[in-house]
Amino acid sequence: MTTSHPALAGFPVITPMPVHWGEMDAYGHVNNTVFFRYFETARIAFLDRCGFLAAYDSDQIGAILHSTDCRFRLPLFYPDDVLVGARTVDVSDDRFTMGYRIVSLAQDGVAADGTGIVVAYDYRMNQKVPLPAAVRAGVLALRGDMER
């Protein structure tokens, strides 16, 4: 499967995935909740790449999804393969904002754009904490070409 597309030029993390037939709902297109599943898969790949999953394993400092949104641009259908891009949009002390983009290969176009805010949380102390330095560096490195 292709793993790049011009519409994802600014996205350093790209995750390909096929559309499952059963992800379509009674309107005959992929259900809106599935777009957030695709975002989530891209988010996990991103958290792995920026070192956040490793931070949880070593320090029990994990990522909490604070909020997320999606702007639907094209309906998706089976069969198709989509590419889901993820990149850093904004970073502050205890959180950062990710940008997501879903590209349909069958339609050769952007199916959705979205964002998600991820907050650092210390599961031993049960409180929000600043992003660990290594994670922060990793997140900054994934801002993507368009942001640099």
Residues that bind a copy of itself (CB under 8 A): 1, 16-18, 20-22, 24-26, 28, 31-34, 36-37, 40-41, 44, 64-72, 78
Nearer to a copy of itself, 37 or 140 (CB): 37
Nearer to a copy of itself, 127 or 148 (CB): 127
Peptide bond preceding 79 in cis form (omega within 30 of 0): yes
Return d(Cα 58, Cα 137) in angstroms, integer. Answer: 17
Name the minimum Å distance from CB 38 to a copy of itself.
8
Name the minimum Å distance from CB 3 to a copy of itself.
11
CB 45 within 8 A of CB 13: yes
| Burial environment of residue 98 by CB neighbours within 10 A (0 to 12, 13 to 18, 19 or more) | buried
Nearer to a copy of itself, 8 or 84 (CB): 84
